[in-house]
């Protein structure tokens, strides 16, 4: 998740159910008669449920098409090695009917986003196990992603600009958050680059009956610092004991823990600052993340 302008980026195309049905009729006619429902719209994609078992993921911005192509290429290879479901595409779609981007047909995974249905405390080690399984060496041709495969210092100028805005408008930037950010910037990278999901905020993690159900939205996947994904501990768990359990189960050096907390500050700040413009749900996610950082010892 990145943003160069305030608020949610404008869509480059308008996606309607009529357009989706036409695309299906042309390219996957056996699916064209399924009931369709738009169930979500993020910064990059629109999600459409198709019947009981399928979903469609369609880019709403040109920049998102390249992210979707990464999912189409790599998720089918990663999925068999991961202990939680991920939406590996079942079929792909091509531009058509005036719609200019590729798109995907995915399995529908039941669950509610973790910001609305937080996972139980007991799920903290489950998250750690998932991340340990994911954080394995990536092949040389793993996708590039300069907004995630970078040191935390690469985020410093923009994050601190946004922190200034948040500091003036909210009480979310506590001294403890400032310390976590400084310590994250100063911490050395002591792990080899591995596969990372890159955008594990609470809306991209599904929960069912208190248990982690799936990790969705893999457009930012790349080889990078595992600490980027470890920031999800503060995105998900409100109980300090759960956060401590996840940290222990993963097994982190002091440097990795500091970087993970720094990345959590980054995600919290960008969600809160952009969310204050036009997305209260994102703003709350960011504020919750920063509060949790402030509650934990450094």
The per-residue pLDDT for 43 is 83
Is the CATH number 3.60.15.10 carried by domain 17-109? Answer: no
Distances (CA, A) of 169 to 41, 62, 152, 229, 294: 27, 32, 24, 28, 18
**Region of residue 85 (left: phi > 0; alpha: psi -120 to 50; beta: else):** beta
Long-range contacts of range 83-87, CB-CB < 8 Å, 24 or more positions apart? 83/126, 83/129, 83/130, 83/133, 84/126, 84/130, 84/212, 84/213, 84/214, 84/215, 85/109, 85/213, 85/214, 85/215, 86/214, 86/215, 86/216, 86/218, 87/55, 87/57, 87/214, 87/216, 87/218
Q: Which CATH architecture has domain 113-295?
A: Alpha-Beta Complex (3.90)
pTM above 0.85, yes or no: yes
Query: pLDDT truncated to tens, each residue of the chain (298 aa)?
Result: 544 545 678 999 999 999 999 999 999 999 999 999 999 888 899 999 999 999 999 999 999 999 999 999 999 999 999 999 999 999 999 999 999 999 999 999 999 999 999 999 999 999 999 999 999 999 999 998 999 999 999 999 999 999 999 999 999 999 999 999 999 999 999 999 999 999 999 999 999 999 999 999 999 999 999 999 999 999 999 999 999 999 999 999 999 999 999 999 999 999 999 999 989 999 999 999 999 999 998 7
The per-residue pLDDT for 151 is 94
Q: Which residue has the tokens 């982190």?
A: 252
Would you tell me how many other CB atoms lie within 10 Å of the CB of residue 240? 13
Sorted by where each begins, the domain ranges of the chain are 17-109, 113-295
Q: What is the Cα gyration radius of the chain?
A: 19
The per-residue pLDDT for 186 is 98
């Amino acid at each position: 998740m990145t943003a160069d302008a305030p608020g949610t980026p404008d869509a480059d195309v308008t996606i309607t159910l009529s357009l989706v049905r036409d695309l299906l009729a042309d390219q996957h006619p056996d699916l064209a008669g399924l009931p369709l429902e738009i169930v979500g719209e993020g910064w990059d994609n629109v999600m459409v449920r198709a019947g009981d078992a399928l979903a469609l993921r369609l880019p709403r911005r040109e920049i998102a098409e390249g992210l979707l192509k990464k999912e189409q290429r790599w998720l089918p290879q990663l999925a068999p090695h991961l202990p939680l479901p991920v939406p590996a595409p079942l079929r792909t779609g091509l531009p058509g009917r005036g719609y200019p981007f590729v798109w995907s047909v995915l399995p529908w995974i039941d669950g509610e986003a973790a910001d609305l249905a937080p996972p139980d405390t007991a799920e903290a080690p489950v998250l750690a196990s998932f991340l340990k399984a994911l954080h394995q060496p990536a092949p040389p041709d793993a996708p590039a992603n300069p907004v995630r495969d970078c040191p935390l210092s690469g985020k410093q100028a923009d994050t601190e600009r946004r922190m200034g805005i948040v500091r003036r408008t909210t009480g979310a930037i506590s001294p403890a958050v400032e310390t976590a950010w400084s310590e994250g910037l100063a911490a050395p990278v002591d792990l080899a680059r591995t596969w990372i999901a890159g955008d594990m905020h609470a809306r991209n993690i599904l929960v069912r009956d208190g248990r982690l159900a799936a990790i969705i939205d893999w457009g930012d996947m790349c080889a990078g610092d595992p600490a980027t994904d470890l920031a999800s501990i503060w995105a998900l768990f409100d109980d300090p004991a759960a956060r401590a359990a996840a940290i222990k189960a993963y097994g982190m050096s002091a440097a990795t823990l500091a970087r993970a907390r720094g990345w959590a500050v980054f995600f919290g700040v960008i969600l809160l600052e952009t969310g204050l413009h036009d997305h209260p749900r994102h703003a709350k996610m960011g504020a919750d993340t920063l509060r949790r950082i402030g509650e934990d010892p450094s």
